[in-house]
A and B are shown apart, each in its own frame.
Chain A
Amino acid sequence: MLIPKLPIGDTVEFAVDWTEDHFGVVLDLISDQLDFLISALKDALLFLPPEIFILALSIFAYFAGKRNVKLALGTAFGFLLIQNMGLWALSMETLALVLSSAMLALIIGIPVGILSAKSELLNHIIRPVLDLMQTMPSFVYLIPALIFFGLGNVPGMIATVVFAMPPAIRLTDLGVRQVPKELVEVADAFGSTGWQKLVKVELPVALPTIMAGVNQCIMLALSMVVIAAMIGARGLGYQVLFGIQRVDIGLGFEAGLAIVIIAVVLDRLTQHLSPR
Chain B
Amino acid sequence: MDRKVKLEIRNISKIFGKNPQKVISLLNKGYSKHEIFEKTKQTVGLNNVSFEVYEGETFVIMGLSGSGKSTLLRCINRLIDPTAGSILLDGQDIAPMDAEALRKIRRSKLGMVFQNFALLPHRTVLENVAYGLEIQGVPKEERYAKAEVSIETVGLKGHEQSKITQLSGGMKQRVGLARALANDPDILLMDEAFSALDPLIRSEMQDELLSLEDAMQKTIIFVSHDLDEALKLGDRIALMKDGEVVQIGTPEEILTNPADSYVSKFVAGVDRSKVLTAEAVMWRPEPLVAVSSGPRVAVQLMKEHGISSIFVVEGKNRVLKGILMIDDAVQALKSKKSFEPMIREVPSVPPEMPLNEIIPLIADSEYPLPVVNENGKLKGIIVRGTVLGALAMSEDIPDPEAEAAGTEVKSTAEVESPERISGGSTLESGNASESPVSGEAEGKLKGKAPPDIEVNKDLENKETGSLDKDLEVNAC
A-side residues, CB < 8 A to B, are 180, 182-183, 185-186, 188-193, 196, 200-201, 204-205, 207, 275
Residues of B within 8 Å of A204, CB to CB, are 120, 122
Q: How far does the alpha carbon of A145 sit from the alpha carbon of B111 in the complex, in Å?
A: 55
- What is the bound-complex CA distance between A207 and B121, given in angstroms? 11
List 5 A-B pairs, Cβ < 8 Å: A186-B131, A190-B106, A190-B131, A192-B135, A201-B120
Mark contacts of B109-128 with chain A using CB atoms, 8 A cut-off: 1 yes-contact digit, 0 otherwise: 01110111010111000000
A118 to chain B, nearest CB (A): 15
The 10 A-B residue pairs with the shortest CB-CB distance, nearest first, are: A191-B107, A191-B106, A182-B118, A189-B112, A190-B132, A204-B122, A191-B103, A186-B118, A192-B135, A196-B135
Q: Find chain B residues with CB under 8 A from A185 CB.
A: 74, 79, 112, 114, 118
Instruction: Find out whether the CB atom of B120 lies under 8 angstroms from the CB atom of A183.
Output: yes
Q: How far, in whole Å, are A183 and B79 apart by their CA atoms in the complex? A: 12
CA distance A192 to B137 in the complex (A): 11
* B120 A191 Cβ-Cβ under 8 A: no
Residues on the B chain within 8 Å of A193, using CB:
103, 135
Chain A residues whose C-beta falls within 8 Å of the C-beta of B77 in the assembled complex = 189
Judge whether B122 and A190 touch: CB under 8 Å: no
Q: Are A188 and B106 in contact (CB under 8 A)?
A: yes
Q: Are B183 and A190 in contact (CB under 8 A)?
A: yes
Inter-subunit contact A190/B135 (CB<8 Å) = yes
Separation of A179 and B179 alpha carbons in the complex (Å): 20
Check if B134 sits within 8 Å of A200, measured CB to CB.
Answer: yes
Is B448 an interface residue, CB under 8 A from the partner?
A: no
Any chain A CB within 8 A of the CB of B104?
Answer: yes
Looking at chain A's contact residues, the main secondary structure is helix
Q: Which of B105, B114, B131 meets A182, CB within 8 Å?
A: B114
Complex Cα distance, B329 from A157, in Å, reads: 112
Indicate with 1 or 0, residue by residue over B74-98, a CB within 8 angstroms of chain A CB atoms.
Answer: 1001010000000000000000000
Q: Quick one: closest A residue to B137, CB to CB? A: A196
A27 to B106 CA separation, bound complex (whole angstroms): 50
Tell me, yes or no, whether B136 is within 8 Å of chain A by CB: yes
CA distance A188 to B105 in the complex (A): 11
- A211 CA / B183 CA spacing, docked (Å): 33
Report which of A180, A189, A201, A207 forms a contact with B110, defined as CB distance below 8 A.
Answer: A189
Bound Cα distance from A122 to B121, whole angstroms: 29
Q: How far is the CA of A193 from the CA of B106 in the complex (A)?
A: 11
How many B residues touch the partner, as a band?
A: 20 to 34
**How far apart are the CA atoms of A192 and B133 in the complex, in Å?**
10
The one of A183, A186, A200 that contacts B112, using a Cβ cutoff of 8 Å: A186
Work out how many contacts link A and B, with CB atoms closer than 8 A.
Answer: 62
Residues in B whose Cβ lies below 8 Å from that of A192: 103, 135
Take A185-B114, A200-B131, A200-B135 as given contacts and tell me if A190 and B120 are in contact as well, using a CB distance cutoff of 8 Å. no
- List B residues at the A interface (Cβ < 8 Å): 74, 77, 79, 102-107, 110-112, 114-116, 118, 120-122, 131-132, 134-136, 179, 183, 189
Question: Within the assembled complex, what's the spacing in Å between the Cα atoms of A192 and B120?
Answer: 14
Which partner residue on chain A sits nearest B134 by CB separation?
A: A200
Given A186-B118, A190-B106, 15 further pairs, Cβ under 8 A: A185-B74, A185-B114, A186-B112, A189-B111, A189-B112, A190-B107, A190-B111, A190-B112, A191-B104, A191-B105, A193-B103, A196-B135, A200-B134, A205-B120, A275-B122
- Chain B nearest CB, measured from A180 CB (Å): 7
Taken together as a complex, chains A and B put the C-alpha atoms of A275 and B118 apart, in Å, by: 19
How far apart are the CA atoms of A69 and B103 in the complex, in Å? 49
Give chain B nearest CB distance to A56 CB in angstroms: 29
Alpha-carbon separation in the docked complex, A207 to B120 (Å): 13
A188 to B132 alpha-carbon distance, docked (Å)? 10
Which residues in B have their C-beta under 8 angstroms from that of A275? 122
How many Å lie between the Cα of A188 and that of B99 in the bound state? 11
Docked Cα-Cα span, A190 to B134, in Å, equals: 10
Cβ–Cβ contact A205 & B118, under 8 A? no
A191 in contact with B122 (CB, 8 Å)? no
Shortest CB–CB separation between residue B289 and chain A, in angstroms?
A: 62
Whether A205 and B114, one on each chain, are in contact in the complex, defined by CB atoms closer than 8 angstroms, is no
Q: Which residues of A sit under 8 angstroms from B189, Cβ to Cβ?
A: 189
> Which residues of chain A are within 8 angstroms of B134 by Cβ–Cβ distance?
200
CB contacts (< 8 Å) of B120 on chain A: these are: 183, 186, 200-201, 204-205
Task: Report the Cα distance A182→B119, complex, angstroms.
Answer: 9
Closest chain A CB from B125 CB (angstroms):
15
Contacts of B110 in A (CB 8 A): 189
Complex-state Cα separation, A275 to B136, whole angstroms: 28
Q: For the complex formed, measure the closest distance between the CB of A159 and the CB atoms of chain B, giving whole angstroms.
A: 36
User: Which A residue sits closest to B121, measured CB to CB?
Assistant: A205
Q: Is the CB of A189 within 8 A of B79?
A: yes
**Contact residues in A for B135 (Cβ distance below 8 Å):** 190-193, 196, 200
What separation, in Å, do the CA atoms of A191 and B135 have in the docked complex?
Answer: 8
Residue of B nearest to A192 (CB): B135
User: Within the assembled complex, what's the spacing in Å between the Cα atoms of A207 and B123?
Assistant: 13
B122, chain A: closest CB distance, angstroms: 4
**What is the CA–CA distance of A204 and B102 in the complex, to the nearest angstrom?**
25
Q: Which of A185, A190, A191, A275 has the most CB of B within 10 A?
A: A190
Question: In the complex the two chains form, is B122's CB within 8 Å of A189's CB?
Answer: no
Closest to B131 in A: A190
Known A188-B79, A189-B77, A275-B122: A182·B106 in contact at CB below 8 Å: no
Q: Kindly identify which residue among B74, B118, B132, B179 contacts A191, using a CB–CB cutoff of 8 Å.
A: B132
- Is there an interface contact between A191 and B136, defined as CB atoms closer than 8 Å? yes
Closest CB-CB distance, A75 to chain B, in whole Å?
28
Query: Min CB distance, A200 to chain B, in Å?
Result: 7
A200 to B121, CA, bound (A): 11
Contacts of A189 in B (CB 8 A): 77, 79, 106, 110-112, 189
The answer to whether B115 touches A182 (Cβ under 8 A) is yes
Residues of A within 8 A of B104 (CB): 191
Determine the residue in chain A with the shortest Cβ distance to B183: A190
Bound-state CA distance A58–B132 (Å) is 42
Residues of A within 8 A of B114 (CB): 182, 185-186
Q: What are the residues of chain A within 8 A of B131 when measuring CB–CB?
A: 186, 190, 200
